[in-house]
Structure 1
Amino acid sequence: MPIVSRDHPEPPPSKPHEARRMAESFGVDAQRYDQARPGYPAALVTRIVNGSPGPDVLDIGCGTGIAARRFQAAGCTVLGVEPDARMAAFAQSRGLNVEVATFEAWQPAGRTFDAVVAAQSWHWVDPSTGATKAAQVLRPGGRLAIFGHAYEPPAEVAEPFAAAYRRAAPDSPFNNGPARRPPALYRAAYAKVAETIDETGQFNETEQWRFDWEQSYTRDQWLALLPTTGGLTQLRPDQLTGILNAVGDAIDSLGGRFTMNYTTLATTAVRTGTT
């Protein structure tokens, strides 16, 4: 998809962590975001929990708490850090403890954690400081896990979307590139994350995890998700309507639904030290 969402690990511009207006645009409809966005594989959550020394989890860029609730259900105590007060308020209404700040500005006040996770949010963190700060708040043996979804709709949906988006927002930077991004682009982004973790010298060797799964979408379900993605959160209503109509027609031509093949990728490493 030639759009940026909290899902995509390497969106334009070239320094996404500086694009604060976009980074904090997802809360425009926090309830829709929470209802429409996909969850995370249970196997991923279980592997992180089992590979951490205890139950205390820090969720960076927790959004509405989609990932955090999975960790809570697995028996963890979760603290979220979220820069968008609207997203944080929604997460708090669902029982999550959240502090409103960017991760870079957030003050740990001496607190440490058994796991630090970032679900589809790490690209909004300054890469020059993110991994180092994560190491500072992790207990020895604690796990850093950065993960997100790699997904592209079938060409029959992606291509009409790309064409409608170009018509609606011809000057948008998200028009650069193909209608469907190759899987290698996602893998390269997570490999780059691994490099920044390795450069800190405070983690054991990074690992790359992969979880493949699928989800079926009806026309209405996909049209509910699209406005929560970064390339669309800042469009005018008339621009958005034109895009949704085109995509809706494309899904109708497929019988009113389609299956999305998801790959959830994770870069993870364990904090060195014993005390």
Structure 2
Amino acid sequence: MPTLPPERGPRPATASHQHRQVAESFGSDAERYDRARPRYPRALVDRIVAASPGPDVLDVGCGTGIVARQFQEAGCRVLGVDVDARMAGLARQRGTDVEVASFEAWDPAGRRFDAVVSGQTWHWVDAVAGAAKAAQALRPGGRLALFWNAGQPGPDVAQAFAEVYRRVLPDSLAARQGTVSAVDGYAALCATAADGIRKAAGFTAPEQSRFDWEQSCTRDEWLDQLPTQGAFTRLSRDELASVLTGVGAAIDAAGGGFTMHYATVAVTAARTGTA
């Protein structure tokens, strides 16, 4: 059984860019977040790099540097921006330069980038103000690329997990897992991001894409990742312990592991203009 993260307060009823305390809760166990969170398809990274006019990348909400390192491995120079100094500190230790600020308040100071990317984070940014700031930071022809991993196990495992959540957290979003497609859940985030790009102006029409892939998970690997997910980061220690016990038993009943089916969904647009 993995160790529990530090005690946290109650989760607010809604989660959006207006609830910075939720976004900042991920840094309470930055090492676990960096170790356990899934990466992103190389095909997505390669497509963004190929569509960008150069190698300079700004990673918004870079966290511990998971996305930044993937772009560095593809030959890019990456600067990260993150609101959480704890996450930023770990990213720096692992080779990414990071400036600590909310993206809306961050100052480009005249710097321009060939791509502005954001993995699993843009829903914590005001969609219109964030797109406007990205337009300010991008060179003409530069790419804004916003993406999320939508993951779901097979139906039997998903139902077993949902039963645990309904028992332990009956009024939570997690309790509806197993009945709602993960991709459908992220479609609303993509729609909000695309609408923000259109309202901010300065971009071509936003385009959406999807990359399907799978990852095998052992019991211990999944119990390590679960506390880093937004539905669970602000649970009490007792609530989280009950969730981990129940989910662990469900994975044991499934043979000690399962396959996670991921769809990485992305919204991209190109900076227009000549200056």
TM-score (norm 1): 0.90
Q: CA–CA distance in 2 between the matches of 1:141 and 1:147?
A: 19
2:115/2:145 contact within 8 Å kept? yes
Shift in Å, 1:156: 3.0
- For the structure 1 residues 169 and 178, does the alpha-carbon distance in structure 2 shift closer, same or farther, using more than 3 Å as the test? closer
Confirm or deny that 1:61 pairs with 2:61: yes
2:128/2:199 contact within 8 Å kept? no
Shift in Å, 1:181: 2.3
Q: Counterpart in 2 of 1:252?
A: 252
Residue type of the alignment partner of 2:249: D
1:156/1:250 contact within 8 Å kept? no
Instruction: Within 5 Å, give how 1:30-45 maps onto structure 2.
Output: 30-45=30-45
Q: Counterpart in 2 of 1:142?
A: 142
Q: Counterpart in 2 of 1:181?
A: 180
Higher mean C-alpha displacement, 146-155 vs 184-193: 184-193
Q: CA–CA distance in 2 between the matches of 1:255 and 1:210?
A: 30
CA offsets 1:79-138 (integer angstroms, 9 cap, x no match): 000111111000000010001111011111111111000101000001231111110111
Structure 2 regions of 5+ residues with no counterpart? Answer: 1-11
Structure 1 regions of 5+ residues with no counterpart? Answer: 1-11
Q: CA–CA distance in 2 between the matches of 1:176 and 1:233?
A: 15
Shift in Å, 1:160: 3.5
- For the structure 1 residues 170 and 212, does the alpha-carbon distance in structure 2 shift closer, same or farther, using more than 3 Å as the test? closer
Residue type of the alignment partner of 1:127: A
CA offsets 1:184-241 (integer angstroms, 9 cap, x no match): 3323431332122122221112211111100000001100000111222222222111
2:67/2:119 contact within 8 Å kept? yes
Q: Counterpart in 2 of 1:235?
A: 235
Q: Counterpart in 1 of 2:20?
A: 20
Q: Counterpart in 2 of 1:226?
A: 226
Higher mean C-alpha displacement, 46-55 vs 174-183: 174-183
Q: CA–CA distance in 2 between the matches of 1:122 and 1:227?
A: 20
Instruction: Give aligned pairs, total.
Output: 263
SS in 2 for 1:18: coil
Q: CA–CA distance in 2 between the matches of 1:175 and 1:227?
A: 12
Q: CA–CA distance in 1 between the matches of 2:66 and 2:268?
A: 19
Q: Counterpart in 2 of 1:108?
A: 108
SS in 2 for 1:152: strand
Q: Counterpart in 1 of 2:6?
A: none
Q: Counterpart in 2 of 1:5?
A: none
Q: Counterpart in 1 of 2:74?
A: 74
Shift in Å, 1:166: 3.9
Q: Counterpart in 2 of 1:121?
A: 121
Q: Counterpart in 1 of 2:267?
A: 267
Q: CA–CA distance in 2 between the matches of 1:157 and 1:244?
A: 14
Shift in Å, 1:155: 3.4
CA offsets 1:47-87 (integer angstroms, 9 cap, x no match): 10110001110000001000100001111110000111111
- For the structure 1 residues 239 and 260, does the alpha-carbon distance in structure 2 shift closer, same or farther, using more than 3 Å as the test? same
Shift in Å, 1:171: 5.3
SS in 1 for 2:263: strand
1:152/1:181 contact within 8 Å kept? no
Q: CA–CA distance in 1 between the matches of 2:84 and 2:179?
A: 29
Q: Counterpart in 2 of 1:3?
A: none
Q: CA–CA distance in 2 between the matches of 1:25 and 1:211?
A: 28
SS in 1 for 2:148: strand
Shift in Å, 1:180: 4.1
